[in-house]
Amino acid sequence: MSQFKVLVGKELRESWRSFKLLWLPLVFILLGVSDPILNYYMMDILKAVGGIPEGFQMVMPEFSAADIIAASTGQFQSIGLIVLIATFVGTISRERQNGTATLLYVRPISHSALFLSKWFVATLVAMISVIAGYAASLYYTVILYGPVEWNRFIAMLATYLLWICLVMALTVAMSASFKTVVAATLTIFLVIGGTIFESLVGSFISVSPWKLPSSSLALLSDFYDGTDFIINLCLSFGLLIIFILIGIMMCKSNASTTKI
């Protein structure tokens, strides 16, 4: 436990010195505010830009607060996840490649503490960023589109944060298993590719960990299947534990590949 605390402190200091705790939340804040502002002021932006033929009229759809939250989630699911994966996919493999990990492996270090500390800090930074993005989106959504039911929003946010925990576990596990380029490719393929696949055939598949983001958004409405939701939660928890165990084993087995 003492090793875990020391390693967490090291990772937090590294995240602070590399400004991850600053620029990652800023990225998600920008993603969060883009949809409510752009959708609300779209006609004004088009008029200001010019080029609209005289007499041209375009009827903008009426968005609800839940629609805007869903749009912000879509931004997080695409750009946001790619940014998070690119930021943390080298958290273990890069240290092995540049020899930094040698300073750790020469000591009697626990590989479980090493992996868990890196996953914990990556997840913490990712969760702070996501919460900041949703807070910014919610602020403008409430002002421009109306209130959101807080109990449903909190349930949605908690469910989506579980998805973030799962993505970060996969990302760090891939970093422990492969070199940075291979780890990044596989992680993006599994996360983004799986998300795209779920969006295409999701109506035919009711149970899948990749349905967790859409299941979280369903909590904002009255139309969601509670049984499937519970099953997806359990699958996600199970997959999270599996990724953590794989990451710990690969962290130990690949320690000998560290450059000196």
173-208 confidence digits (pLDDT tens): 998 888 888 888 899 999 988 888 887 876 677 788
> Is 228 inside any structural domain?
yes
pLDDT grade for 168, boundaries at 50, 70 and 90 = very high
- Encoded tokens for 17: 């010195």
**Burial (CB count within 10 angstroms: exposed 0-12, middle 13-18, buried 19+), residue 233:** middle
pLDDT at 40 (0 to 100): 81
Work out the end-to-end distance of the chain between its first and last CA atoms, rounded to an integer number of angstroms.
28
**How far apart are the C-alpha atoms of 74 and 67, rounded to whole Å?**
11
> Is 113 inside any structural domain?
yes
Are 109 and 40 in contact, with CB atoms under 8 Å apart? no
* pLDDT tens column, 126-146: 999 999 999 999 999 999 998
Helix axes 81-88, 111-145, angle to 10 degrees: 160
* pLDDT tens column, 66-125: 889 999 999 999 999 999 999 999 888 877 776 565 656 656 678 788 899 999 999 999
**How far apart are the C-alpha atoms of 210 and 141, rounded to whole Å?**
26
> Is 45 inside any structural domain?
no
> Is 47 inside any structural domain?
no
Name the domain count of the chain.
1
> Is 117 inside any structural domain?
yes
- For residue 87, give its domain range: 2-35+64-257
Helix (H) or strand (E) holding 109: none
